Structure 1
Amino acid sequence: MNWIWFAIGSAFFAGLTAILGKLGVEGLNSNLATFIRTVVILFVVITIISIRNEWQLPQHIAAKPVIFLVLSGVATGLSWLLYYRALQLAPASWVAPIDKLSVVIAIVLGVTLLGEPLSIKLLVGAGLVFSGVLVLAL
């Protein structure tokens, strides 16, 4: 159950990101704001890797995982650019819930592309998230 603490921490910081991001894009181009955020993230990750002495690469790195990490990076970059532009145009309390449709999208893609098991619990949870987004967005 260690993973759950990381997930809760991720959710907390994602929520904080919305508020800080909203404050950060006021009077600043949203693309430049995304760049500044990305540079900060780069330095934070470099610091963590350095402190933990995790710079060792494996002897052989397969191409497939690297390709998927690159594609994930592209998806993240596009998500951030769109998110910051949305924050610039609307209140964080409107943008953040719609952004959480990513939960439903991840469930659908996990089931369809990764073959993850579909359960009633998963369907109900996705439905509740989707319903919550509709309530907050309309």
Structure 2
Amino acid sequence: MKTLFQSWQLWAFLSAFFATLTAIFAKIGIENINSDFATFVRTIVILFVLAALLAVTGQWQSSSTVSSRTYLFLVLSSCATGASWLCYLRALKVGDAARVAPIDKLSVVLVAIFLGERLSGTNWVGVVAIVIGAVLVAPK
């Protein structure tokens, strides 16, 4: 059981599962409000949930143990996350979730290209399949 919870595949699957719920709940939740305000509400909720999780699990970390480089990239990542959420909720506000979500997942393709990770031929076929899937699902 311990190795199951250390598996990146399990956590990636759970991420996909919760991303599915995110799209469904967000599409329903933004019906009658501004998408930027919806992003603000989501951010506040996440802040409180994570603070509670850190408190319950005892994972608070002293800020002095974190390097300035780490802080820099976490701040940049946070800005990118915020921009992604704003764009994602705006897209959901005006588009179908089943069309928005696959295009959002093109991030997999961009990460594979920009990080330069060594992927096998089979992995690259999967990356190309993601592009083809997004292209096929996106049109109305």
Supply the RMSD in Å over aligned alpha carbons: 1.3
Equivalence for 2:130: 129
CA deviation vs aligned residue, 1:17-57 (integer Å, no higher than 9, x gap):
00100011111000000000011111111111011011132
| 1:17 to 2:22 alignment | yes
Distance 2:84 2:128 in 1: 23
Equivalence for 2:38: 33
**In the TM superposition, what are the counterparts of 1:27-106 in structure 2 within 5 Å?**
27-57=32-62, 59-106=64-111
The sequence identity of aligned pairs, in percent, is 46
Structure 2 regions of 5+ residues with no counterpart?
1-5
| TM-score normalized by the length of structure 1 | 0.92
Secondary structure in 2 matching 1:104: helix
Q: Which moved more, 1:17-26 or 1:117-126?
A: 117-126
Distance 2:133 2:96 in 1: 17
Q: Relative to structure 1, is the Cα distance of residues 64 and 29 closer, same or farther in structure 2, using a 3 angstrom cutoff?
A: same
Q: Relative to structure 1, is the Cα distance of residues 59 and 35 closer, same or farther in structure 2, using a 3 angstrom cutoff?
A: closer
What's the offset of the Cα at 1:121?
2.0
**In the TM superposition, what are the counterparts of 1:107-118 in structure 2 within 5 Å?**
107-111=112-116, 116-118=117-119
Distance 1:101 1:62 in 2: 31
What's the offset of the Cα at 1:58?
6.5
Aligned residues: 134
| TM-score normalized by the length of structure 2 | 0.90
Q: Which amino acid aligns with 1:62?
A: S
